[in-house]
Structure 1
Amino acid sequence: MNDFRKSGRNVSRHLGGASDHFMRMKSFAIVAALALSAAISGCSTIGSQLFTNNYGSVNDAGYQLPRIPIERVPLKYHRQEVNYDTSEKPGTIVVDTQNKFLYFVEGDGRAIRYGIGVGREGFEWHGTAHIALKREWPTWTPPRQMIQRQPELAKFASGMEPGLKNPLGARAMYLFNKGGDMGYRLHGSPEWNSIGKAMSSGCIRLMNQDIIDLYDRTSVGAKVIVM
């Protein structure tokens, strides 16, 4: 009988230990889930703030922008505030064409980072420019050289009206240098799945919800560096 009681106590201690271990693992899982949730909602503790919840449907100037299925866009291309060490002054835009990122410099070692699409092979470029014009829901006019390459675009030679299918999207900012209009734009795009890719004719494209955000932050005259 004594052996039985001792055995029972040993079993109880064993079960108690297993229960404690289970509770510790459960608590760890809950904490991990909360940490992931916080990171996604913009409360990351590693120096970056995500804006993943800012890609819903938007009514803008009478146009109903559809929700972007942001869960299908790699996390690194979601709009986020990040640590960014630069000597450029706040308000400067830095385009990293290799990594497909655009940085809006905030100062104090911080920047807003956006995922972008860039020029395809043969249409890459690098240099410094400035924002000369800003337009909401712009008209798109394909350049003459583009019409020569794609004759089907001739119907838009006088301009394509603004709208959800317009290649410039909800906003456009026009890049000039000392020689005048470079022909390149920072603009929105209805093709959210082109972000992170090299598909354009040299313009820098963002998701529509992102270009609206960047547009509101950017002043005419802002410096743009394309690397």
Structure 2
Amino acid sequence: MGFEFSRMIELMPEIWVAFGQTLYMIGISLAVAIILGLPLGVLLFVTDRGLFLENRIIQSSFGFVINMVRSIPFIILLVALIPLTDLIVGRTIGPAAASVSLSVAAIPFFARIVESALREIDKGVIEAAVAVGATPWMIIKDVLLPEAKTSIVQGVTLTIISLVAYSAMAGVVGGGGIGDLAIRFGYYRYDNTIMIVTVVILIILVQLIQQIGDWTSKAIDKR
């Protein structure tokens, strides 16, 4: 079966609903990733050896948990978190339910990106801030985050693109969104038209996100 334009027109209401669900899932999980992943990434950096809040126990413990979560394939994580999803959301299918697993996957991913961004900062800048008596909070707020903001924005872009891919996989377990549409109409019904449309939508979405991310990072880069 080839591509049928009339079939695409017929499915436009379903496509728009699925697209909205995908944006909903990405929006929630990205917000959670930034709110929790950003301070977690900062904590991993400042507690490392030689830094002003060095604490090997905290650094190693959080690092181990982050690596453990990141080592689990997302499709397995989706299934493993069903009890937690049911506890938090009250159901195990739909965009809100899928957002729980997406958030759990995104938090350690973004935290590592933040940690890597902070490691790019010249250690001399940090040492100078410590030498003048700046408090840890002042160093984080006035030195670390401003110096790493361009890399962090690029990390946000990468996280969003990863969430687009993860949200598509959430369709396998009834998470809704573009992936769910592709599974229900494209795979189960052997509908090539919907498969092509969903792939094109995802490609356009990723390209748009990348372009916006690149523009934003260049706009705030004052170096």
Would you say same fold, with TM above 0.5?
Answer: no
Choose 1 or 2 for highest CA Rg: 1
Higher helix share: 2
Name the one with the larger strand percent: 1
**Structure of greater relative contact order (alpha carbons < 8 Å, 6+ residues apart):** 2
Q: What's the TM-score, normalizing by structure 2? A: 0.26
Q: Normalized against structure 1, the TM-score is what? A: 0.26
